[in-house]
Amino acid sequence: MAASLEPRILVTGAGGFLGRHLLESELREPVAVLVRDPKAWQSQPWAQSLREIELIEGRLEAPERWAAHPALREVEQVLHLAAYVSHSRSDAEHSYRTNVGGSLNAFDFAAQRQARMIFVSTSGTVGCFHSADEIAYEDAPDCEAIIQHWPYYASKLEAERRLRARAREHDIPLVIVRPPVLLGPRDHRLRSSGHVLRVLENRLPCRLPGGIAFVDVRDVASALARLLQLPAPRPLYHLPGFHWPLDRFFETIAELAGGRSLPSLRPSAPLLRRLARGLGALPRQWRDRLSLPDPVLLEMGSAFWGLGSHHAREDLAHAPRPARETLTDTLSWLRAEGHAH
């Protein structure tokens, strides 16, 4: 249903996992959403029940087609969620085009209206380490040395830098938000739930020596909704959840799923690195045809991830729910949707 008042918020990436939670559960005011394919949007049952939505057709790469839309005249905040999330090095160009170029275009739209730009980045720009139990707070340095060959994270880091520079140049308020992996129900495109699904479908090829940082998508959506209400937010918020060894993560899922078995193969980190190099030498079509993992995923599976926040609790009332609740709800939703039995 079209908005009854001119929207003051533009959400990009509204049709994604996080966007869906924001729109379905958190935002009550009129909102404009930028969507690439309005027919696809309208065909989704969850989107049909939304109220007070102004649908704007457009792509990040072509702002000239949507930025002057009359329904965007009153926009005061741009909540920029849209991104291309693929870890493969074969997708590097697409990642940079969308995540850097597209984000700068969204910023330019905000700057033309003196609107606040909220950029949802990722914990991967700062919170990736060679050893366990390290934690990146908002004042941590970036971790470019580790993530520079992982195009998704590298593109998000480049976007953060370029957006900061442009915000300074134009004196536009910019808020960067960094969540870790999002989990929870209603991941209708199976973006992050793929990690969980792999256990349910016995598709985990081996145990991985590294860790994972994750948070409930519903808690991130709530924090973002509060951020939109703050008159003077800080320029940067981390939205941490839990950082676990991957062994604990997969064992907990296997247990909650009723005792699934996990692979016994446990390659060491150096062996995984050699495997990743070997896989990287194969053409992508071969890897896909043989259902072999992308080398970046093996490299990431040897790394450790940790995120903390000095301000998210106080400013955004961010209090992550228990990890087992998130995993249980993720599993229940996947099962209810018929993805696993």
Binding positions for ligand NAP, rule: CB under 6 A: 12-13, 15-19, 34-37, 59-61, 81-85, 98, 102, 120, 122, 179, 181-182, 189, 191-192
Q: Which residues contact 164 (CB under 8 A, 6 or more apart)?
A: 174, 176
E strand or H helix at 235:
none
Nearer to ligand NAP, 13 or 233 (CB): 13
Closer to ligand NAP by Cβ: residue 85 or 292? 85
Identity of the residue, 99 or 275, whose beta carbon is nearer to ligand NAP in the bound complex: 99
Please report how close the Cβ of residue 34 comes to ligand NAP at its closest, in angstroms.
6
Number of residue whose CB is nearest ligand NAP: 16
Residue 181: how many other CB atoms lie within 10 Å: 18
CB of 215 to ligand NAP, least distance (A): 8
Whose Cβ is closer to ligand NAP: residue 219's or residue 267's?
Answer: 219
**Which tokens in the block code for residue 164?**
């900061």
**Is 116 in a helix, a strand, or coil?**
strand
Using CA of residue 341, residue 248, residue 147, residue 237, what is the dihedral sign?
Answer: positive
DSSP 101: I
Cβ nearer to ligand NAP, comparing 15 with 151: 15
User: Using only C-alpha atoms, what is the Rg of the chain?
Assistant: 20
- The closest alpha carbon to 205, from 275, 135, 259, 141, belongs to 275
Pairwise CA distance, residues 277 & 113, whole Å: 47
Nearest to ligand NAP of 63, 267 (CB atom) = 63
Closest approach, Cβ 291 to ligand NAP, in A, equals: 21
Token pair 């998508």 is found at: 217
Residues in a beta bridge with 128: 305
CA distance 88 to 95: 9
Question: Could you tell me which residues come within 8 angstroms of residue 91 by beta carbon, excluding any fewer than 6 positions away?
Answer: 84, 151, 152
Provide CB contacts within 8 A for 88, sequence distance 6+: 151, 284, 294, 296
Taking a C-beta distance cutoff of 8 angstroms, is the pair 7, 31 a contact? yes
Nearest-approach distance from CB 248 to ligand NAP, in angstroms? 18
Minimum gap (Å) between residue 271 Cβ and ligand NAP: 27
CB of 63 to ligand NAP, least distance (A): 10
Residue type, 134: E
Rounded least distance, CB 29 to ligand NAP, Å: 20
Residue 119 CB, shortest distance to ligand NAP, in Å, is 8
- State which residue, 93 or 263, has the beta carbon closest to ligand NAP: 93
176 vs 275, which CB is nearer to ligand NAP?
Answer: 176
